Amino acid sequence: MSLNRLLERLLPGSTESSVILAVAFCALAVLGLALLALLGWLAELPRLASFGPGMIPMAPSTALFFLLCGLALLVLLEPFSTFWRRLLLLPPLMVLVAFSLLVYFLAAKGVYMRVEHLGLDISGLLNGVPVGHMSPLTAFGFVWLGLVLALLLAARLWSRPAGVEARAFYGLILIFVVLIAGIITAGFVSFRHHEQGHRAAMVHELSAVAALKAERITAWLRELQLNGEELARNHGFADRVEKWLQHDDLQEREVVLSRLADQMEVYNFYGITLLAADKQYVYSQGLNWDRREEVKELLELAADTGWVVRSDLFKDDAGVVHMIWVVPIIADPRRPPVAFVIRSVMAGDFLFPFLAGWPGASQSAETLLVRPEGKQVRYLNPPRFASASPLELVLPLGREEVPAVQAVLGRQGIVEGVDYRGVPVVAALQPVPQTSWYLLARMDMAEMYAPLRERLWVIMLAVLVLLMVAAAGVVLLRRRQQHDQQLARLSREAQRQRHQKAELEQQVARRTAQLATVNRELEAFTYSVSHDLKAPLRGIEGYSRLLLRDYQEQLDEDGRLLVGYICRGVEQMQELIEALLAYSRLERREIKQQGVEPAGLVQAVLAGFADQLEAAGVELQVEVPECKVCADPEGLRMALRNLLANAIKFSRNSRPPRVSIRAVPQGGKLLLSVQDNGVGFKMKDAERIFEIFTRLARDHDEAGSGVGLALVRKAVERMGGRVWAESEPGCGATFWLEIPLAAAPHRDQTTAEHPMNAHDRSIMQGS
């Protein structure tokens, strides 16, 4: 088929092939731009979907629809397009029309669907417009473009030379397209009718909620005001107050206090304060408000006018929102008030919970109370979808699109706009009489129009059902092909999983063999240290002692001193080997957690050091309560032995040496300390001393193996505890052990971030 013949059928009366080329070029340009936009979203480069930075990028759904339209144009222009290829293009075009209608109606109401993002993570605003969504104008254009392409495609199918049966079939296709257009038109009319009814019902609900809540708040304020006025004009009560204050009548005092207590209980006041005529404090129950600036101004106004005056909502020093009534107690209208009663109501008791409620289930509806403050509007109750506390959220009056600002500027009734989150909402505005407050009952447009969205989906499904009948055969063939591909894919996946399982089993076997080899090498190392290293040391020690015994006369003073150094070095080496063996055994020994009584364990450890303590003249203090900890007895015993040995060693030069062992339960843990008055150390070394082979002492007599404190940390941490130290040079050292209690004591176990507060530490250190 020549291009001229094709052009005559597509555009009757035209024989210009250049028009076809221009249309093909435009179609390719549309395809290229659509693919570039989709590529930009996939590569997280939205600039590719726009003409430059700061401009709104093309929505993914718009790019997809342009891609479909470009393909449709190419299919229409392609000389060798088959009948079935053109026929299969009809369902996607009808989907484009139906979905564009849905987007148009919802976007016109400020409702945007996440499905337009095609599964991509897109969010944010650009110049107040949500990014990644199709505009209503674009959607409306796609409706007409899809219908035009579908009609052109039907015309191309009709113009194909065929027999009578084929032409009848093409006629049915054309009727089918017209039927779809009729269904869409009928759905549009039905949707508009349903939209009007649904909107009227939702508007009535919002208006009713706003009116009822404003009326209830007004009644609540009026009730408290009338009660205050009744108390102010109660001359009998005023006489009793005057007798009490002027004559110190105790009987009248009890009657007055009883009346105030009844007021507080009946009206749920947060605090009641009684002031004398000279505004001096007399009595208060709950909070005392006589020193606040807000109260002083109200007192002056009540004293001058004799009226019951009320404050606006305000926050106290603790961040609690209150409202205060000052009631002048008047015995004689011709005289000044004999006293003043200050009553406070906490907004969190009634007002804020009442505003937070909503009649019925709603995911976005809320009631807000606002008031003007200069060039701003302040939200009084805490917003539902903001982290702001009461009286914290403020907006400038310049944001007239916000319903709260519109309410303050005098608007009433139903308005549309965006709330403090920037989300489109519908709100009912209602002033609260006799206050500076305005009440808003609002709901997100997305929730308000959710039923309409469902109705549109029903219309779309009706259209798609007709399209799916025509494409059922193709779908079945595709499903069969997908089923075969799925079976092949499952077979490959099962084979891959079997291969991975075999590799994993081999890797586990290799790791197990490596671990066993490491364990054997560790045991061999332990045996070597135990036998191969200790035997030569014993020989060196024996020969050194024989040398001193048999050849002492032949050695001069320096020689005997050097031999003594050799003996002490051997002893230190043996001590280090024993410590290393103990550290190795601790690493491999099984932990046996059980209930241990630390008091008995401490006494048992002290019994083993009785001779050393007596020889060194150590003053010992032990304060360990009767309790049980969850610990490994042998590990805890070893930790205590090492800490006690260190305390004795490093305090032996003090006069007198002191060692104290104390314990106190705290927060489900037992804090046990070992304290001495020895040489101490700098706190910068507090963590380093628990590392293996670390020795801070330079004195040869006080240097240890460098393993003892590492053993302490290892033993305590394996029991689920922890250890740390506190010290100052020349002021001794305190080592702390934190061990879980076997049964937490039944009391308030509030702990700070530090394991012990200053008061408990001073008690345990005896300060």
Residues 355 and 369 sit within 8 Å (Cβ to Cβ): yes
Place domain 590-764 in its CATH homologous superfamily. Answer: Histidine kinase-like ATPase, C-terminal domain (3.30.565.10)
Alpha-carbon gap, residue 56 to 142, rounded angstroms: 19
Sign of CA dihedral 709, 715, 718, 724: negative
Range from 238-242, 401-405, 702-706 carrying the lowest mean pLDDT: 702-706
pLDDT at 633 over 50: yes
pLDDT tier, 441 (very low <50, low <70, confident <90, very high otherwise): very high
pLDDT tier, 288 (very low <50, low <70, confident <90, very high otherwise): low
pLDDT at 230 over 80: yes
When comparing pLDDT for 135 and 173, which is higher? 135
Q: Quote the pLDDT of residue 407.
A: 92
Residues 206 and 441 sit within 8 Å (Cβ to Cβ): yes
* Span 337-392, pLDDT tens digits: 989 999 888 888 889 999 998 888 888 899 999 999 989 999 999 998 888 889 99
Q: Quote the pLDDT of residue 645.
A: 86
SS3 410: coil
* Span 52-78, pLDDT tens digits: 666 677 788 887 777 777 777 776 666
SS3 660: strand
* Span 185-202, pLDDT tens digits: 666 666 667 777 777 888
Alpha-carbon gap, residue 584 to 33, rounded angstroms: 70
* DSSP assignment of 365-396: -EEEEEEEETTEEEE-SPPTTS-PPTTT-EEE
**370-390 residues labelled b (16+ CB within 10 A) or e (exposed):** bbbeeeebbbbbbbeeeeeeb
Say what percent of the chain tops pLDDT 90.
11
Q: Quote the pLDDT of residue 217.
A: 93
Q: Which two tokens stand for residue 267?
A: 């009206």
CA 135 to chain centre: 34
Residues 256 and 240 sit within 8 Å (Cβ to Cβ): yes
pLDDT at 760 over 50: no
- Residue 257's nearest CA partner among 322, 349, 350, 339 is 339
SS3 335: coil
Q: Which two tokens stand for residue 636?
A: 């805890």
Range from 1-15, 31-45, 360-374, 566-580 carrying the lowest mean pLDDT: 1-15
DSSP label at 79? T
- Spatial CB neighbours of 292, under 8 Å, sequence gap ≥ 6: 316
Highest mean pLDDT among 3-7, 131-135, 698-702, 735-739 belongs to: 735-739
Beta bridge partners of 675: 660, 734
Q: What's the Rg (C-alpha) of the chain?
A: 45
pLDDT tier, 16 (very low <50, low <70, confident <90, very high otherwise): very low
Say what percent of the chain tops pLDDT 70.
71
Alpha-carbon gap, residue 708 to 689, rounded angstroms: 10
Residues 685 and 696 sit within 8 Å (Cβ to Cβ): yes
Block residue for tokens 């394996």? 718
Q: Quote the pLDDT of residue 132.
A: 74
Question: Which own/partner contact pairs does 3-12 have at CB distance under 8 Å and 24+ positions apart?
Answer: 3/79, 6/77, 6/79, 9/156, 9/159, 10/76, 10/77, 10/152, 10/156
* Span 675-696, pLDDT tens digits: 998 888 888 887 878 776 666 6
- Spatial CB neighbours of 726, under 8 Å, sequence gap ≥ 6: 683, 686, 733, 734, 736
Average pLDDT over residues 660-685: 88
pLDDT at 163 over 60: no
Q: Quote the pLDDT of residue 82.
A: 58
- Spatial CB neighbours of 616, under 8 Å, sequence gap ≥ 6: 648, 652, 657
Q: Quote the pLDDT of residue 757.
A: 45
* Span 450-483, pLDDT tens digits: 776 676 666 666 656 655 555 454 445 445 655 7
Q: Which CATH architecture has domain 210-451?
A: 2-Layer Sandwich (3.30)
Q: Quote the pLDDT of residue 121.
A: 72
pLDDT at 328 over 90: yes
Block residue for tokens 């037992």? 670
Q: Quote the pLDDT of residue 173.
A: 52
Compute the mean pLDDT over every residue in the chain, rounded to the nearest whole number: 77
Q: Quote the pLDDT of residue 761.
A: 45
Main-chain phi, psi angles of 726, to 5 degrees: -135, 135
Average pLDDT over residues 157-179: 50
Residues 153 and 180 sit within 8 Å (Cβ to Cβ): no
pLDDT at 313 over 70: yes
Residues 669 and 692 sit within 8 Å (Cβ to Cβ): no
Kindly list the distances between the CA atom of residue 78 and the CA atoms of 3, 8, 156, in Å, as whole numbers in the listed order.
9, 14, 11
Beta bridge partners of 575: none
- Residue 311's nearest CA partner among 396, 457, 436, 397 is 436
CA 67 to chain centre: 41
Alpha-carbon gap, residue 160 to 174, rounded angstroms: 13
Alpha-carbon gap, residue 231 to 244, rounded angstroms: 17
Q: Quote the pLDDT of residue 1.
A: 42
Average pLDDT over residues 573-596: 69
Please report which helix (H) or strand (E) contains residue 73, including its range.
helix 60-77
Q: Quote the pLDDT of residue 162.
A: 44
Highest mean pLDDT among 33-37, 42-46, 499-503 belongs to: 499-503
* Span 486-539, pLDDT tens digits: 788 888 888 888 888 888 888 888 888 887 777 667 666 665 665 666 777 777
Domain regions of the chain by residue span: 3-121+128-160, 210-451, 472-560, 590-764
Q: Quote the pLDDT of residue 446.
A: 80
